[in-house]
Structure 1
Amino acid sequence: MPIIPKGQWYMFKKFGFRYFLAAVLLGITAFTPLLAQPLLEKKPQKSENISIVSLAPNVTETLYALGAESHLVGRTDYCTYPEDALKIPSIGTLYSPSLEKLVSLQPDMAIATDFVSDELLQSLQSAGIEVLSLDVQKTFSGTYTLIREIAQAVDRVKEGELLILAMQNQVKDTVEKARTMDKKRVYFMVDFGSFDGTATGDTYISEMLEMAGAINIAQDATRWTYSKELLVANDPDLIIMTPRWGQSDEETRQEFIKTKPYSDLRATKEGNLVFIDSDMISRQGPRSAMALEELAKAIHGEDWL
């Protein structure tokens, strides 16, 4: 499920969180080195010997895709892919990891995204742990930057470039195919009910919708928030859905179609509700090219085959 940067509490409310849709916002891709100087010094490690705690699911996935999983000594509860990652000790949730557990693993480096608090990262530096903080969930191209930075940290630059090239080729094929198809007006449902969440125009998922050949009806909105009035007024052709926390696809679908005003939408009445793997689409990393293609399939249906 989607993961939203710290401070956007309503997404945490939905996902309690898994990683998502994990989203993401405004600005140019940037890497943010923390300025605080560590109080404890550790002897620098060569890349091939470095031990790492991953503080984000896409970091874990990237290390595995680079063949660098042997560096991993810790992960978060949300680092669930690939399945082999579950064998690695967890340091807690994405938003509230255990500092004590993390430090006890004695890593040389912690790799984080902007979902992790500055306070925690500064505490890690004070404990003599090097921090690589990646702020890339702004644009789709930020995915490639993330892979390159992690590849450099573990001396897998060649592997990183080959992975990126394969992804870029798949993305190119998907985008070119999508351009030949009719554009549908789409709403990407993140949550509904008391709060209506969607991939607004300032998210990289909105960019993916456009790349996949859709018109995002929430393009003009910001910060994952949309109103019921606008949803009804813009009445989309298709609604792409993700299951609510603790629910199956069908449980979420049934609740959606029985709740007003969603039950009155044309897409609901015509059965144009499609579910997508929110973990894959929200975790910017090695599976992002595959996620784009799956999104295009969800949008275009049988026309894509």
Structure 2
Amino acid sequence: MLKHRRSLLLVLLVIVGLSTILTAQPLMEKKNQGPDTLRIVSLSPNVTETLFALGAGDLLAGRTDYCNYPQEAEKLPSIGTLYNPSLEKLISLQPDLAISSAFVSDEMLQSLEKAGIEVLALNEQETFAGTYSLIRKIAQRVNKVKEGELLILEMQNQVKETVEKARLLEKKRVYFMVDFGSFDSTATGDTYISEMLHMVGAINIAQDATRWTYSKELLVTNDPDLIVMTARWGESEEETRAEFSTTKPYSDLRATKEGNLVFVDSDTISRQGPRSAEALELLAKAVHGKDWL
């Protein structure tokens, strides 16, 4: 009888031991997880673009509604908008890491950390130097340091070529139109796009303004040579151009009357990331037109 009891006790101990090991295994795996097995949710379009450019797109488990480049990104499940992502949806994707670069509230980031999700919040300056820093930090976290440095070097070479070429061309007084109507928004002197305008040899008439806002009175007074535009949300370029050209005081501007309204892609221009060097050249072409050969 005693022998049977000992055998039964031994079996129970083995079962309990196996159960403990199996229960602890996921935790151990997560704790020892390397960069190549991370599950990442991107909270910003430029983060998504950077991960794909680094060859780490396969680590992405989720994205925001605005993460639309490259095309493969749109196949990923979305957690909602930049400004109001769904915490519940994000957690359901079971990520190890969430990466953000802008617009995500501190409350959201704190909630993620409380849920046991690592957060990498990249609050880089809105400058070209800040772009390189953002790429470098993401590359380090996902074990793509070499790829990151090569990407940055390629971008720097393209930027240098664009800036040197623009330096030889005539400067133009430019207004970068972000929005108009009840609220006039432009790339003011404290923005990333204003720095880009300067780099391509343009004179930003809103250089002295701040926080993306500009008055109609100043716009009329400074009357730019050229207006670089982006299509308004939900509108085509043709629709935006037609409304701008027929609405006062914009219809009275010299640039409008002379047809000097040039469109650029908002996503490409505004996102700090791997397409920023390409964006700079696109902006140079928009500013200099036929002179940019």
Normalised to the residue count of structure 1, the TM-score between the two structures is 0.86
The correspondence for 2:185, drawn from 183, 197, 201, is 197
- In 1, distance between residues paired with 2:68 and 2:134? 19
The correspondence for 1:238, drawn from 213, 221, 226, is 226
Would the aligned equivalents of 1:74 and 1:90 in 2 still touch at CA under 8 Å?
A: yes
Q: Where does residue 285 of structure 1 map in the other structure? A: 273
- In 2, distance between residues paired with 1:173 and 1:71? 33
- In 2, distance between residues paired with 1:256 and 1:187? 13
For 1:1-305, what aligned pairs fall within 5 Å after superposition?
Answer: 43-305=31-293
Q: Where does residue 14 of structure 1 map in the other structure? A: none
Which 5+ residue runs of structure 1 have no aligned equivalent? Answer: 1-39
- In 1, distance between residues paired with 2:111 and 2:286? 43
Q: Where does residue 19 of structure 2 map in the other structure? A: none
Cα-to-partner distance string for 1:176-229 (whole Å, 9 max, x where unaligned): 000000000000000001110000000010000000110000000000000001
Paired residue type of 1:195: F
Normalised to the residue count of structure 2, the TM-score between the two structures is 0.89
Secondary structure of residue in 2 paired with 1:186: strand
The CA deviation at 1:44 is 4.6
- In 1, distance between residues paired with 2:186 and 2:38? 39
Which 5+ residue runs of structure 2 have no aligned equivalent? Answer: 1-26
Would the aligned equivalents of 2:44 and 2:102 in 1 still touch at CA under 8 Å?
A: no
Paired residue type of 2:42: S
Higher RCO (CA < 8 A, seq sep 6+): 1
- In 2, distance between residues paired with 1:85 and 1:249? 24
- In 1, distance between residues paired with 2:65 and 2:141? 23
- In 2, distance between residues paired with 1:114 and 1:250? 30
Would the aligned equivalents of 2:174 and 2:224 in 1 still touch at CA under 8 Å?
A: yes
Paired residue type of 2:93: L
The CA deviation at 1:137 is 4.5
Paired residue type of 2:100: A
The CA deviation at 1:50 is 1.1
CA RMSD of aligned residues (A): 1.2
Higher fraction of helix: 2
